[in-house]
Amino acid sequence: MGGDGRPSDGGGGGGAGAGAGHPHQFQYQALLAAVHTQNPNHSHNLPFPLPPLNGPGPDASTHNAVRQPPTPRGFADWSASTSAFTSLAVQSTPSTATANAYHYSLSPCYAFWTHYMLNKNAYSYYPAPNQEHTHPFSLDNNQAKDPGSIPSFGIESFNTTSLAPNMSAHMPPMEGPLPTKEPEAPEDMPARVATIKDEMDARNGVELKCETVDALPELKQGHESCASKFNSGEYQVILRKELTKSDVANVGRIVLPKKDAEASLPPLCERDPVILQMDDMVLPITWKFKYRFWPNNKSRMYILDSTSEFVKTHGLQAGDALIIYKNPVPGKYIVRGEKAIQQTN
DNA sequence: GCAATTGCATGATTT
DNA sequence: AAAATCATGCAATTG
């Protein structure tokens, strides 16, 4: 599959992969270990559950059977997680948002967690080696260009009105399709994926009302306080796919839900694939996936190609999920591999 | 010739 | 019941 599926961090070397089954696994584990260690109550503060420490992937039973200790680290291992979080927090949503985009508002406690972690590491940050992309954490670049657009580290970063000027054209968060069906008898399911809906159900509440401002753009000024309160910390899930066996097989392609793909990803007018750059939410990596379609009967099948590295790196298996978020950087996205949560009954 | 990749067809499932 | 969607297998192509 050549280089298309490889992350563009260029960081295959550097010894990060020493002893690990994959160059990213060590760092991945280090990230997770750090998050778990620093914030054992993360489940209450993060907008999604963290993967288990002993992940990821098929190699976990061998290479990662022993829990990785927190790395002797600078900021590289933090930059991955906080970068994505930061980008989400400061995201200004373009008006091209799609009809079925979800909203996701970060709660104050989560903003505080992010604030804490960012400040904790603010002076030890260094960019990942050979990081060619403009990862969301690359605040220095953005600040240089537009000091007003990206705030400095601090909790006020998540409460400034100016960061997210546009809330229009979004559907209310609960209106979006959620491909994953809730089992009628969850206890019968050995594992399930915690859906975005679950997460939002658990935390949003009042926030939903505020986002009805979207449907009334003329009222945005009058509702600015409400909008600014939540908009500064929102991000949108534009596509979620529960992975199948064939998705995580070695073929390295993931079938995307047609509805979400057409609604939220760039239109494919021709058969030529489109390269989609997606920042990893957890790792300091920009993935480059080929997005294309096949004719299928009278319809189309939408395919995300060159995904094998992503799947391997995150140790994704059937039942896990691929989640694509909007990225404040035009033409880029944020991607996350979501491990299914084992139900312990 | 082989492995990897790509494209398509078909059948199952869902709407 | 029909149409749409999607998972997956397999043939064709490519390196």
- pLDDT (tens digit, 9 = 90+) per residue, A222-270? 233 333 322 334 568 888 999 998 999 888 999 999 888 888 888 887 7
Q: Residue A286 — φ and ψ, nearest 5°?
A: -110, 120
The answer to whether strand C lies under 7 Å from the CB of residue A255 is yes
Task: Name the 3-class secondary structure at A142.
Answer: helix
Q: Which two tokens stand for residue A113?
A: 């967690």
CB atoms within 10 A of CB A314: 28
The answer to whether strand C lies under 7 Å from the CB of residue A250 is no
Locus of tokens 């998705």: A247
Q: Which nucleotides of B are covered by protein (CB under 7 A)?
A: 4-11, 15
Interatomic distance A244 CA / B12 C1' (Å): 14
Q: Which nucleotide comes closest to A244 if you measure CA to C1'?
A: C7
- pLDDT (tens digit, 9 = 90+) per residue, A278-331? 888 888 888 888 898 988 888 889 999 899 889 988 888 888 889 998 877 777
Helix crossing, A76-89 with A108-121: angle to 10°?
A: 140
Locus of tokens 């658990």: A202
Interatomic distance A63 CA / B10 C1' (Å): 40
Q: How far is CA A199 from CA A10, A45, A147, A193, A320, in A?
A: 34, 11, 33, 11, 16
- DSSP labels, A17-64: TTTSSSTTHHHHHHHHHHHHHH-TTHHHHSSSPPPPTT-SSGGGGTTT
Interatomic distance A297 CA / C3 C1' (Å): 11
The answer to whether strand B lies under 7 Å from the CB of residue A297 is yes
The answer to whether strand C lies under 7 Å from the CB of residue A246 is yes
CA closest to C1' of C5 belongs to: A258
- DSSP labels, A60-126: GGTTTSSPPPPP--SSHHHHHHHHHHHHHHT----TT--TTPPPEEPPHHHHHHHHHHHHHHTTT--
Q: Which helix (H) or strand (E) holds A276?
A: strand A274-280
The answer to whether strand B lies under 7 Å from the CB of residue A294 is yes
d(CA A150, CA A162): 9
Interatomic distance A170 CA / B15 C1' (Å): 25
Dihedral of CA atoms A37, A43, A45, A49 in degrees, nearest 10, equals 100
CB A192 within 8 A of CB A340: yes
CB A135 within 8 A of CB A103: no
Give chain A's mean pLDDT: 52
CA closest to C1' of C3 belongs to: A298
The answer to whether strand C lies under 7 Å from the CB of residue A257 is yes
Out of A57-71, A149-163, A176-190, the most confident range is A176-190
CB atoms within 10 A of CB A43: 10
The pTM of the whole model exceeds 0.75: no
Interatomic distance A330 CA / C10 C1' (Å): 38
Q: Which two tokens stand for residue A114?
A: 């992010």
Domains and CATH numbers, chain A: 25-59+72-342 (2.40.330.10)
The answer to whether strand C lies under 7 Å from the CB of residue A3 is no
Interatomic distance A84 CA / B13 C1' (Å): 36
- pLDDT (tens digit, 9 = 90+) per residue, A183-211? 333 333 333 344 444 443 333 332 322 22
- pLDDT (tens digit, 9 = 90+) per residue, A82-97? 333 333 433 333 333 3
The answer to whether strand B lies under 7 Å from the CB of residue A250 is yes
The answer to whether strand C lies under 7 Å from the CB of residue A181 is no
Residue A344, exposed/middle/buried by CB under 10 A (0-12, 13-18, 19+)? Answer: exposed
Any bridge partners for residue A290, and if so which? A275, A305
The answer to whether strand B lies under 7 Å from the CB of residue A252 is yes
